[in-house]
A and B are shown apart, each in its own frame.
Chain A
């Protein structure tokens, strides 16, 4: 399977190497996004993610397909978590494997940057006394 596109409740980061490993790949590049404890010096207790799943999977497919067209990749993975996630928990994993490192480094950056721009997933930051939908307001 060349592409793995998933929205899951819990991300297992230990399986990503096996998923991207390929006899023709000399390079594997992975980006993992995780929950950070502080936003603008305010303590975050958790992030809550929700998605419009059917559309999100479709948009993720499009991004993976563009990456496969732009670079010579053997495997591509895009996996995002939903639900409430605590500090240090992984929330997104994207990665690519290719014969040489340039293609997978560039593709990996493209995968996460484009996901953040177009995929219908929303995160709410939970602080001690309030919650905020990220990026909703100027």
Chain B
């Protein structure tokens, strides 16, 4: 499954998109966050970590199939 990264998370993973393959299925949003924190401990130091599925904020229990557009949303700071 492909995951998009923005802001500080892009710096942490070293790119704007990565492919994650070795995940236990079914995977939900909480599982993806845990997987990312395991691989990149820096994620656990952020003020917040949200996931967007198809351009909408997604709750932890949303199931991911890999066909969605998945994006990692670190603390926003527009304005």
- Could you tell me which A residues sit within 8 Å of B by CB distance? 33, 49-52, 54-56, 58, 80, 91-92, 112, 115-124, 133-138
Are A116 and B46 also in contact (CB < 8 A) when A52-B4, A52-B73, A133-B74 are?
no
Please state if A137 and B73 are interface contacts (CB–CB under 8 Å).
no
Are A134 and B55 also in contact (CB < 8 A) when A52-B71, A122-B6 are?
no
Please state if A136 and B8 are interface contacts (CB–CB under 8 Å).
yes
> B56 within 8 Å of A by Cβ?
yes
The size bracket of the interface on B is 20 to 34
A124 to B74: give the CA distance in the assembly, Å. Answer: 13
23 A/B residue pairs, CB under 8 Å, sorted by A: A33-B79, A49-B78, A51-B78, A52-B6, A52-B52, A55-B56, A58-B55, A58-B56, A80-B78, A80-B79, A115-B79, A116-B77, A116-B78, A117-B76, A121-B76, A121-B79, A122-B7, A123-B77, A134-B77, A135-B75, A135-B76, A136-B7, A137-B47
